[in-house]
Structure 1
């Protein structure tokens, strides 16, 4: 009986090595201009499989990846899948203690680390008994660790192993917006499912696209944007290993002229402020822009369309579902909403008793689709409360509109009642950022002198603005736009807001660290 190898690396990498554009660039490093073709990527990933064999790292064992966005990332990731070894990409912005927790939790036998990040993680390596090999990418290639470049050069090419689409392919640790990161396990088939649904039917990715994703490769949104979707059609991705600032992003857009740009609301707002102040411009021939991580304010989407002529397709995804499952679509964009279900996914909005809420109701969003994670590693209770059969609880609160579109209201833990009525922080935040002085805003519940919960706002101002008389102006804007009982009783101007690496505002830190 003939069987088909369902190894995701065969579909995303090797398939293109035999096609007409095998010599086409799969990835370009924006800082160095270094490229790798699909044919060379196929060869290099085959050598990674041999590297594992040489070092005794076996199928189903984990390897951690603390790797910046560079060509080494896809080489290691897809090479691991070819060998049946499970790569675990790590957030490159964490502290040493969190890395130690993750390395111990995953029991990774090897670590691939960019030389720039080695000083952060090196102090805790001795505390991780399962870790046996450290491969350093770039740098002087000196010291006690192995050089990834030299080890790869000493390796031979190996064919990918046969796997089932249901075999564990990789782990992603959740962003930890409400606590310690959790190991989210995904199978080979999940990658192609997201490409066949969102990538093909919403994003409309094409082989002649050039893609640039502000979101980094180490988390689910960036992994789909910069690897899965472009590689599904043989497109080209531009990688930036540095922190995305308005200056660095504008430079990539103007130098490499991407047609697809993947951002987050915080970055879109910062880019607009940067450009509107005369500090930059965008000349890239953008045909598709997308956003996720946090709900996109209507003002930001409308201004971006005015500036570039391209709408932003705001959507919702999660590490647990691997990518976006609810989204606006080309030609069907309503700013201020998260759109409708991506083809291939089913959604429900339910109350605390599990019953579907009607039009105008607010409830928790549940999603069903074949990209759902298997579970959380070694967290059975949390797995059972999140993955309920075919359905996954997102922890997000949504309102159902008459048109069937969904409006984001906030995380389940962020919602609170004022005068017995549910208040959605995002609704107040949208009103606050409509003020010309406000760049970003976050709203949390705080208790007044009588012990009752009321909204409290934290705002970040645009350059050149001061907070004089601003609190009262912002209170009046909220009263006028969305309701008198929803206005923030306190408004505090802050230099920045606490966020995860994905751009999500960590409101729990505002609740914990600030008090009315």
Structure 2
């Protein structure tokens, strides 16, 4: 039901948790976590207890609660428990430096912090610098003594009531924030509303993935990412399905073993992970049992065609490549089951609209590269406290993604890089992604990043930073071979004039390559 403008109450916690119990799914497994199986009814009680716990601390509507948790049930209890009382949960990346958490807490002005013990130990020395923080609620093992000046998550939760009425929030009230990755500056607080998760569920999960209550979802991308929040939490809960939570770092072995153990039907990964899982499988000459999986999803960056083909060869599984953003909450361009165009980001997801424009904002015809703008009802309310950036990015109903794309005559969208990643070589736009995808097809190459550098005449030329596969040694002859390989597969003007072999590529925690770091090095 579309509740916009009607003024009726709408609380996302009620929609994604209580509705499943009310529909008779109370005894169904909602969460697979280690050797636990947590039902919807058990989850509902825990969500209510956390909500009541926060109320006893004086938290109320619009108060912000920072969540710094691993992928565990406590993350979910804290997220929906906060929303249920009208507070605003803010999940943040668990892999950052202490100074980053100082920024998150002070920028958001969060009154409460829910955090795992090991993560608190890394930042507790900065406690006096958290200007607005009143309550630190630590999730620790039952035999670990509560740190002085903090509260015990479990003790407080167990003492709280299991009954809780939802706060009288409405469709367009704030529900939660997510911080953008901040690859080119300070992270931005992205404000999402109560209805945004439902829109993403209906547009992508139901339309593209055909998700039903019979599915089990597993997202290797963590819950604090917009991509993982959908695939690992509100997508399955939105249809009464189940999710698998794995708190460990998603190495190829951890992920493949988890798929064998929990037998998910839908798997969410990122291109870098698929590449490492392929390499891990081939290197160990062992194919894991992924027969439970009916479809795989990829987002974060374009999926190299070579990964798509190798994954299909190794595991007979298709990968639906798509693109989304923190601001849009989830995927808005995607390939479809039975309709995959290799190398493309697919077509517009139902419910969204897209247009490609030139620098003046005028729509471009098919096959011309321009800036991608999208609109849809899960696009964020805006950035917290960033007036100028809001004006630049949120253009009425349209959001300026910062991505360069073109749309072909059949309606498929083709990614050409970030607006500041595109190269103009000899007066012609060149996509670094196209060169990278070509080099990844060479048997010696594991990962690659292409950027533009200037020669002695200040003309731009492509340079490739390459990570080689295990056992392959860098050499001048190999560099020459890779240049020739590119010339054979692409227009000659696109080949990388310089190749530099490196041990690793700089990436965001979502796995996106940070090309800008090579440009400024």
Q: Same fold (TM over 0.5)?
A: yes
Q: Which runs of 4+ in 1 moved over 2 A?
A: 2-5, 18-21, 278-282
Mapped to 2, the partners of 1:279 and 1:133 lie a distance apart of 50
1:453 aligned to 2:460? yes
Select which of 443, 446, 463 maps to 2:450. Answer: 443
User: CA shift at 1:321, angstroms?
Assistant: 0.2
- Structure 2 equivalent of residue 357 of structure 1: 364
- After superposition, give the CA deviation of every residue in 1:210-257 in whole Å (9 maximum; x if it has no partner): 111011000100000011110011111111111100111111011111
Look up the SS of the partner of 1:64 in the other structure: strand
Equivalence map 1:462-477=2 (5 Å): 462-468=469-475, 469-477=477-485
Q: Which residue of 2 aligns with 1:80?
A: 82
Greater mean deviation of Cα atoms: 195-204 or 4-13: 4-13
Q: Which moved more, 1:335-344 or 1:482-491?
A: 482-491
Partner Cα distance (2:77, 2:500) in 1: 46
State the alpha-carbon separation in 2 of the partners of residues 88 and 114 from structure 1.
15
Partner residue of 1:230? 236
2:498 to 478, 481, 490: 490
1:25 to 26, 29, 48: 29
1:266-289 Cα shifts (integer Å, max 9, x gaps): 000000011011254221221010
Partner of 1:209: 215
Q: What is the TM-score of this pair, normalised by structure 1?
A: 0.97
After superposition, what is the alpha-carbon deviation per residue over 1:484-508, rounded to whole angstroms, capped at 9, x for unaligned?
1111111111111111111111111
Are residue 5 (structure 1) and residue 13 (structure 2) matched?
Answer: no
> How far, CA to CA, are the matches of 2:139 and 2:286 in structure 1?
33
* 1:127 matched to 2:132: no
Q: How does 1:97-108 map to 2 (within 5 A)?
A: 97-108=99-110
Q: Which runs of 5+ in 2 are unaligned?
A: 1-5
Contact 2:90–2:176, Cα closer than 8 Å, also in 1: yes
Is it true that 1:372 corresponds to 2:350 in the alignment?
A: no
Superimposed CA distance per residue, residues 13-62 of structure 1 (whole angstroms, 9 cap, x where no aligned partner):
00011233211111121xx3123210111111111121112111121010
TM-score, normalised to structure 2's length?
0.96
Give the CA deviation at 1:125: 2.2
1:322 to 309, 316, 329: 329
Change (3 A) 1:258 1:136: same
Aligned residues: 510
Q: Which of 390, 397, 422 is the matching residue for 2:397?
A: 390
Counterpart of 1:110 in structure 2 is 112
* Counterpart selection for 1:342 from 349, 356, 366: 349
Look up the SS of the partner of 1:498 in the other structure. Answer: coil
Task: Provide, for residues 82-133 of structure 1, a one-character-per-residue CA deviation record: whole Å limited to 9, x for no partner.
Answer: 0000000001111111111111110000101111211222222210121011
**CA distance, structure 1, for counterparts of residue 406 and residue 485 of structure 2:** 22
> Is the Cα contact below 8 Å between 2:7 and 2:171 reproduced in 1?
no
2:177 corresponding residue in structure 1: 171
Residue pair 1:13, 1:231 contacting (<8 A) in 2 also? yes
Query: Are the counterparts in 1 of residues 32 and 262 from structure 2 also a CA contact under 8 Å?
Result: no
**Map of 1:71 onto structure 2:** 73
Matching residue within 273, 281, 287 for 1:275: 281
CA contact (8 A) 2:7 2:170 kept: no
Q: Evaluate the alpha carbon distance shift between residue 113 and residue 279 of structure 1 in structure 2; reply closer, same or farther with a 3 A threshold.
A: farther
1:184-203 matched pairs, under 5 angstroms: 184-203=190-209
The answer as to whether partners of 2:31 and 2:37 remain within 8 angstroms in 1 is yes
> Using the alignment, how far apart are the partners of 1:253 and 1:19 within structure 2?
29
Q: Distance in 2 between matches of 1:141 and 1:200?
A: 45
Matched, 1:410 2:412: no
Contact map agreement 2:222 2:229 (CA 8 A) in 1? yes
Question: Helix, strand or coil: the match of 1:413?
Answer: coil
Please tell me whether the aligned partners of residues 28 and 71 of structure 1 are also in contact (alpha carbons under 8 angstroms).
no
Q: 1:512 aligns with which of 509, 516, 520?
A: 520
* Equivalent residue in structure 1 for 2:152, among 140, 147, 171: 147
2:306 aligns with 299
Q: Are 1:46 and 1:160, in contact at CA under 8 Å, matched by a contact in 2? A: no
Equivalent in 501, 504, 510 of residue 509 of structure 2? 501
Structure 1 residues not aligned, in runs of 5+:
none
C-alpha distance in 2, partners of 1:197/1:402? 23
Q: Kindly state the Cα deviation for residue 4 of structure 1 after the two structures are TM-superposed.
A: 4.8
SS of corresponding position for 1:366: strand
Which of 81, 95, 98 matches 1:96?
98
**Contact 1:172 1:185 (C-alpha < 8 Å) held by counterparts:** yes
Alpha-carbon distance in structure 1 between the residues aligned to 2:422 and 2:326: 21
CA distance in 2, matches of 1:41, 1:466: 52
- Render the CA deviation track for 1:340-380: whole Å, top value 9, x for unaligned: 10000000011101111222210011001000100100001
In structure 1, what is the equivalent of residue 436 of structure 2? 429
SS at match of 2:24: coil
Structure 1 window deviating more from structure 2 (120-129 vs 54-63): it is 120-129
**Quick one: distance in 1 between partners of 2:263 and 2:300?**
24
Q: 238-247 vs 136-145, which deviates more? A: 136-145
Of residues 392, 400, 406, the one that matches 1:399 is 406
1:52 to 36, 51, 54: 54
